[in-house]
Structure 1
Amino acid sequence: MMQIRFLFTFFALLMLVVLGAKEADADCLSGRYRGPCAVWDNETCRRVCREEGRGRVSGHCSSRLQCWCEGC
């Protein structure tokens, strides 16, 4: 039982590292979005990112309550 819990925890942490690295390579922090960005603010984040221009096609809120633009 202990080995399964350890294995699950290891894979969960590994997934967070891999997904976090991917986000850092392709996304950039919005320069115009102000305030916390929660899940229900995703549409606002997308709109702000598109309005920023510079090839930014969309955006999403992160677990750290920040708006990240895609396509940077």
Structure 2
Amino acid sequence: MAQIKGLFAVLAVVAIVLMAANSSSAVDCQSGTFSGPCWAWDGEQCRRLCREEGHVSGHCSASLKCWCEQC
């Protein structure tokens, strides 16, 4: 019985983390004008292009994509 409660607690924490991840990425969208991989040193270009697209700012992700904020 204690193992079932522990498993339920772990699943609840995982569900909360996944919901938080989905809600935080919902306000970001991928840049339509940035091409190629977005490396750490491309951050300023990513931010500039996102601002030109009408968004607040932008950032490079771990998946090497340029994401614009507050779409």
- Which TM-score band applies after superposition, normalised by the shorter structure? 0.5 to 0.7
Structure 1 gaps of 5+ residues are: 1-9
TM-score by length of 2: 0.68
Whole-angstrom distance in 1 between the partners of 2:69 and 2:53? 11
Over aligned residues, Cα RMSD in angstroms?
A: 2.1
Structure in which a larger fraction of residues adopt strand: 1
What letter is aligned with 2:62? S
> 1:40 Cα deviation (Å)?
1.2
Aligned to 2:45: 44
Structure 2 gaps of 5+ residues are: 1-9
C-alpha distance after superposition, 1:20-65 (max 9, x if no partner) = 4244211000000001001111111000000112xx1100000110
TM-score by length of 1: 0.67
Find the structure with the greater CA-based Rg: 2
Percent of residue pairs identical: 53
